[in-house]
Amino acid sequence: MTREEFEELVSLALDRVPPELMRLMDNVAVFVEEEPEDAEDRELLGLYEGTPLTERGEWYAGVLPDRITIYRGPTLRMCETREDVVAETEITVVHEIAHHFGIDDERLHALGYG
C-alpha cells in the first residue's frame, strides 16, 4: 500500500468520527509517519503527544497543537490484507483521538480499541 493510499485511509477514519466529537477536538493535528523514531517502538501503530482535554486548565494557552501520529510501517507489517489495514487504521485513529479526550489505555482496551 502506498503512502498516499494509507494517508487516505487515515483521512477516511477521521471522517468517520462523529461530527459532535470532532467539534470538541481542540488544538490537535494529525500526521502520518513511516516509522516511530525510537527503534524500541517498532510495533507502535499510533501515538498521542500533548495535553488531554481533561487535564487542561486556565494555564493552557498559546501552546503548540497536540500531535496524533499514525505509523504506516508497523500497521502494514501487522496486517495481512487491505481490509485488515483499513480496520486497524480506523481503530488506531479512534484510539489516539480518545487519548486527546483523556481516555486511558485500560479503558480503550475494555472498549475494544486496544
Please give the torsion angle defined by the CA atoms of residues 10, 13, 74 and 6, in that order, rounded to the nearest 10 degrees.
Answer: -40
Q: How confident is the model at residue 43 (pLDDT cuts 50, 70, 90)?
A: very high
CA–CA distance, 9 with 75 (Å, rounded to integer): 12
pTM for this entry: 0.88
- Would you state the pLDDT for residue 94? 92
What are the tens digits of pLDDT across the range 51-88? Answer: 888 888 888 788 789 999 999 999 999 999 999 999 99
Cα–Cα distances in angstroms (integers) from residue 56 to residues 53, 75, 107, 109, in the given order: 5, 31, 20, 24
- Local confidence band at 22 (pLDDT 50, 70, 90 cut-offs): confident
Measured distance CA(14)–CA(8) in Å, rounded: 10
pLDDT at 114: 66
